[in-house]
Amino acid sequence: MNSMANIAAVLGVVAMAAAASAQDVVKERQALMKEVVAKNGKAVSAMIRGTEPFDAVKIEELMKAIGAVPDKFVTLFPEGTAPKDGVKTEAKPAIWENPADFKAEAEKLKETSLAVADTAKSGVEPTKEAFRAFAARCKACHEKYSGAEF
Amino acid sequence: MRWWLLIIAVLLLLGLGFYVVTSPGRLQASALPRGTPDAKNGEYVFIAGGCSSCHGAPPADAACNDPAVPDKHDLAGGRCLVTPFGTFYVPNISPDRESGIGGWTDVEFVNAMMRGVSPAGAHYYPAFPYTSYQRMRVEDVLDLKAFLSTLPAVRSDVPDHDLPLPFRLRRGLGLWKLLYLDGTPYTPDPAMSPQAQRGGYLVEGPGHCGECHTPRDLLGGRIDGKKLSGAANPEGKGVIPNITPHKEGIGDWSAGDIVEALATGFTPDFKPLGGTMTKVAENTAKLTDEDRAAIAAYLKAIRPLPSSVQKPARKKQ
C-alpha cells in the first residue's frame, strides 16, 4: 500500500510539473508574440505613419528582432501543449493537424519582416509598402491557427 | 343591419390599399443606359461592395455565421445573418440558373440591387443593403452584373429565412420601403472636395458602410441624421464604432491613418480593426490608393457626431 501511495505521489508531482512546464511553454510563445512582434510592430507602425520620427536604423533593428521570432516560435508547440491537453492556450488544434502549413506561415512572417528591415533605408514609401505585406501575415496566420484577439 | 357588409367592404378597401401602396417600385428596361458593360470595372465594384463577404460560401462544416470566406468567387450563399428581426440566409448569386441568378435580365438585376425587388416582384428584406445600393450609378451595377456572370456557376440549397411571424409578410416591406427607400442616386455635397465626393460615393453606395456604422430606429431603418456615428452590432454583441471625425469617433486619426487602416486592417495603434471589419479591410486593401484616400477624405469631411452607442472605455494608447 505504501509503495502504491508513493507511486501515486510521484506521478502526481510529475503530472503537476508537466502541467506547469506546459503552461510555461504557452507563456513563452505568447510573450514572443506580445513582447516582440506586437510591440515592435506597433513602434514601427508609428514611425511609418509619422506619429514618431522615421528612424531607418531603429526600424531595421526592430524588424530584425521580429524576424528572429518565427524560427524559435515554431519549436514552442510540442505535444502536450495543445488545447486538448487541458492547457490554457489560444492556439488552435489545426497547428498540430497541419504542422507543415503552420511552419510555412511562420516562414512568411520571417520573410516579410526581414523584407521591411531591408527596405527601411530606402525611405518611408517603400517601407510602408513592405510593412503592409508584413501586417497582412498577422491575420493570415491567426485566422487558421490562433483564437487570440491580438 | 347590413353593418357586416360595410365592415367587409372597408376591409377589402384596406386590403386593396395595402396592396397598392406596397407594390414594388421598379425601374423599366427602357430607362437603362445603353452601351457595353465593363466586367473589369464590375470586378472593382465587386471588391468595393464586398459582395463575397456575405454571398461567399462559408467553409464546409463551419457554422453559417463563421466569417471565413475560403473562395471569394464561390458565391453559393448559405451564410447566415442573425439579427433582432430573425435569421437571414444569404442567397446564391452565382450564374447557376436554378439556384443562382443565371438568366436574370439586366433590369431584373438592377431592380434587385437598387429597388430591393426580385424578378418575380417580391420585396427583398433590407438585410440585403439595397438602401445603400440605390445610390449607385446604374452603369456600375450593370458592370457588376457582367463580372458576376464570369464567375463559376455553383448549385446550392440555401434555407429560407427563419423569421418570427410578423416579419414573414414580405409584402409588408412595401410599407417599410416607403419610409426608407427613396430611389435617389448619390448626391455629392457641393461643399466637399471632388476627392471627398468620390469617397462619399464609395461609402454611401457600394461600400454600404452605413449599414453597419449608422444607428437604426425601431423599424430597422437607418437614422440619416446620425450618419456613421456607430451602432449596436446587428449580430449581437459589441458595438460598431463611430467613424465620424468626432473625438468619440476617429477624430484623432489623420486621413493617412484611415488610408492605412483600410490598406492593412490595423488601427494607428497597430491593433486589428477587429471582427467583421478585418474582413472588410481585405477588400478595401484591394482598392486603389486614390480611392482609399477618397474614403479617408470623406470620413474627415462629414459631420462629427458623438457616438450613438456608448461602448466600454476604450484603451487609448
Cβ pair B268:A45 closer than 8 A: yes
Chain B residue with minimum CA distance to A142: B272
User: To 10 degrees, what angle do helices B275-284 and B255-264 make?
Assistant: 90
Cβ pair A143:B68 closer than 8 A: yes
Nearest to residue B92, comparing CAs of B146, B168, B159, B41?
A: B159
Residues in chain B closer than 8 A to A45 (CB atoms)? 260, 266, 268-270
Tell me the whole-structure pTM to 2 decimals: 0.86
What cell was used for A74? 515554431
* H-state helical runs in chain B: 3-21, 39-49, 51-55, 106-115, 130-133, 138-148, 173-180, 194-204, 210-213, 255-264, 275-284, 289-301
* Lowest-pLDDT choice from A119-128, A133-142, B122-131: A133-142
Chain B residue with minimum CA distance to A38: B270
User: What is the complex's ipTM, to 2 decimals?
Assistant: 0.74
- pLDDT, one tens digit per residue, over B246-286 is 999 999 999 999 999 999 899 988 888 877 888 899 999 99
pLDDT band at B166 (very low <50, low <70, confident <90, very high): confident
The distance in angstroms from the start CA to the end CA of chain B is: 78
- Asked if A143 has any chain B CB less than 8 Å from its own CB, the reply is yes
pLDDT at B222 over 90: yes
Single-letter residue type at B81: L
- Asked if A136 has any chain B CB less than 8 Å from its own CB, the reply is yes
The SS3 assignment for B86 reads strand
Cβ pair A46:B268 closer than 8 A: yes
Rounded to an integer, what is the distance from CA B258 to the centroid of its chain?
21
Cβ pair A132:B263 closer than 8 A: yes
pLDDT band at A71 (very low <50, low <70, confident <90, very high): very high
